[in-house]
Amino acid sequence: MKTGIKASRLRRATAVALTTGAVLVTGALAAAPAQAVSAPSIVAKGGYAMNNANGSTLFTKKADTRLSTGSTTKIMTAKVVLAQPNLNLDAKVTIQKAYSDYVVKNNASQAHLIVGDKVTVRQLLYGLMLPSGCDAAYALADKFGSGSTRDARVKSFIGKMNSAAKALKLTNTHFDSFDGIGKGSNYSTPRDLTKIASSAMKSSTFRTIVKTKSYRAKTITKTGSTRTMATWTNTNTLLGSYKGAIGVKTGSGPEAKYCLVFAATRGSKTVIGTVLASSSINQRATDATKILNYGFARLG
């Protein structure tokens, strides 16, 4: 009898233990998804990502540290152009020798615009954002700045870039160039650049341009004939390698190292972010991929 009672108690205890264990296991499984997503390690000095829908932070690494931006500066260049009142994207701009001389002197990335050709504002924006043309950036700054001399117009345009940063309440951003070839005081942060890009992405024209992998412009020559330019290829390798990638802009330079402002959409969710001062072209893409994967995992 005693043995039977003991056996019965043992069975009840075992049942309780098993039930408790099941609850614990179920609880652990329920909590697992949130716990399983750990922040990735990136090589870049600084990184940031946010939910583009509401601006909530998804990833940070020295997100508010001022760093050189390289050609990611051109996001603001495009934003300022697209914000001009009564903008005519089909207005033509004649390419000046000064633009060509500038890229040669600085050994800068270029769209290989040809002096004397008439190029539309829309084409210049593609030349700015895809091959990262500093000649296209110069042409746009000259066109949309105010003043009686080219230097005055460029200075005015850079002023508009800084005014746009102030309007976005960015306290860690300053531009001293229209293309990122700065004079020592061209800087931003991963968080600020992400906010600039998010603001620029409100423009449908900007969105169309930055997700385009390649573009071939037809320009008008001095003699009035049509020139088909060599294809401009987007320097953002994520467009061909990351599912849902929709932009935004690469940057590089001796001080800036390798930078990438990136965005991708999956379903109704868009993650947008920045990596600054990574170690190589491939590494900045790897860093961005890790952050995007993490961002989407957090958004669920």
Q: Annotated active-site positions, please?
A: 71, 74, 132
- Report the Cα 180 to chain-centroid distance in Å: 14
Q: How far is CA 271 from CA 36, 52, 218, 277, in A?
A: 19, 6, 34, 20
In 3-state terms, what secondary structure has residue 280?
coil
- Cα separation, 279 vs 20, in Å, equals 51
As given in the structure block, the two tokens for residue 93 are 């701009």
Cα torsion 178, 180, 181, 183 to 10°: value is 80
- Report the Cα 205 to chain-centroid distance in Å: 16
Cβ(111)–Cβ(188) below 8 Å: no
